[in-house]
């Protein structure tokens, strides 16, 4: 349950690393950083995306610490340094997406409630953002604010999601839930050639993350399984229901990537337009991983987050979550 640094990706100072256990016995790798000031603005909890790991967020963690936040980061079950249920640790698998809620419950009870100053905010990316939004609509998210980066509301390259959901469900029922998706394999997406990557246009940050993934070995998982895909399609279908966004009462900032080829930006915009307590920012030219993009893209994303979260000295959101100052189109 240690963190794994590389020369280009050192561990932010002050890390407290440990292991907690969810109520079903799943061990989770968790790291937290106390705020570096006597009066912190609160705690930011990072909900990573699929196939990510704590080490990938070291730069962002330093940014948040410099803004007087305490920070919590953890690996979802099935990836990073957390539990595996299959014999092949490279398979990106979870039996049911509902089990991710148990990870959040464990973080809330064993980390946030004991050691972390409020208010608590979730900073979620892709799958992690979608999980946060789904929990929020059901009143089960332990946070006062949500920042959802490129949330997994729909997939950009899946034109018939209902058919895909049906196909993965049939394969799951036939006993193939632990098999790779068609064409899937163990190579981490973080280590594939830069020229074909869909994640970022920043060559240096991509190389840094590739080195971190290589150092983490089996912690950097490969492609998803049929079981994971089935759960993901079910989650996206729930979030696309007309009332899903209306049911979220936590102030929410949604930031989408204008050049995203992983999740569907139009689906994200439709979801955000229905939020009663939030607003949306679309960053032109940005690829999927907004926080690993080039500085010209990453800086305004950080500025919007900084303004939205509690305690900001810059332009703050009003009571219904509106952040018109940062609204863009692209």
When the candidates are 3.40.50.1240, 3.40.50.800, 3.30.110.30, 3.40.50.1820, the CATH number that belongs to 16-326 is 3.40.50.1820
The pair of structure tokens assigned to 280 is 């949306």
Q: Return the closest-CA partner of residue 80 out of 103, 114, 110.
A: 103
Say which range, 41-50, 260-269, 321-330, has the weakest mean pLDDT.
321-330
Q: What is the mean pLDDT of residues 270-292?
A: 96
Q: Report d(CA 277, CA 73) in Å as an integer.
A: 25
Average of per-residue pLDDT values in the chain: 93
**118, 120, 147: which is closest to 44 by C-alpha?**
120
* Residue 252 CB burial class (10 angstroms; 0-12, 13-18, ≥19): buried
Give the start-to-end residue ranges of the domains of the chain: 16-326
Looking at per-residue confidence, does 325 or 31 come out higher? 31
Q: For strand 252-257 and strand 16-21, is the pairing parallel, antiparallel, or unpaired? A: unpaired
Global pTM value: 0.94
Res 311: pLDDT? 65
- List pLDDT tens digits, range 120-140: 999 999 999 999 999 999 999
- Cβ 253 vs Cβ 228: under 8 Å: no
Q: What is the token pair recorded at 128?
A: 């992690």
Rounded mean pLDDT, 132-150: 98
Cβ neighbors of 190 (< 8 A, separation 6 or more) are: 51, 56, 199, 206, 209, 210, 212, 213, 220
CA distance 258 to 174: 38
């Amino acid at each position: 349950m240690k963190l794994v640094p590389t020369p280009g990706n050192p561990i932010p100072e002050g890390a407290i690393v440990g292991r907690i256990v969810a109520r079903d016995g799943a061990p989770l790798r968790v790291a937290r950083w106390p705020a570096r000031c006597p009066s912190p603005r609160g705690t930011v909890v990072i909900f990573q995306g699929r196939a990510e790991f704590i080490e990938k967020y070291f730069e962002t963690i330093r940014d948040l610490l410099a803004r007087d936040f305490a920070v919590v980061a953890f690996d979802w079950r099935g990836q990073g340094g957390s539990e595996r249920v299959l014999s092949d640790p490279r398979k990106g698998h979870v039996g049911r997406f509902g089990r991710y809620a148990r990870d959040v419950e464990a973080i809330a009870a064993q980390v946030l409630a004991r050691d972390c100053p409020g208010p608590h905010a979730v900073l979620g990316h892709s799958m992690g953002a979608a999980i946060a939004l789904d929990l929020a609509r059901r009143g089960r998210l332990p946070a006062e604010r949500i920042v959802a980066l490129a949330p997994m509301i729909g997939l950009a390259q899946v034109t018939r999601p209902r058919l895909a959901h049906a196909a993965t469900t049939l394969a799951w029922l036939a006993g193939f839930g632990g098999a790779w998706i068609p064409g899937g394999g163990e190579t981490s997406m973080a280590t594939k050639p830069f020229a074909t990557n869909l994640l970022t246009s920043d060559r240096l940050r991509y190389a840094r993350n590739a080195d971190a993934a290589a150092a983490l070995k089996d912690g950097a998982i490969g492609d998803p399984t049929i079981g994971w895909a089935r759960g993901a399609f079910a989650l996206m279908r729930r979030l696309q229901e007309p009332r899903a966004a209306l049911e979220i009462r936590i102030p929410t900032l949604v930031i989408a990537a204008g050049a995203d080829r992983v999740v569907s930006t139009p689906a994200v915009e439709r979801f955000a337009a229905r939020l009663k307590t939030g607003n949306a920012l679309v960053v032109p030219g940005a690829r999927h991983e907004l926080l690993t993009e080039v500085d010209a893209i990453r800086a305004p994303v950080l500025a919007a987050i900084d303004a939205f979260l509690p305690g900001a000295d810059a332009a703050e959101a009003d009571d219904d979550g509106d952040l018109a100052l940062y609204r863009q189109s692209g």
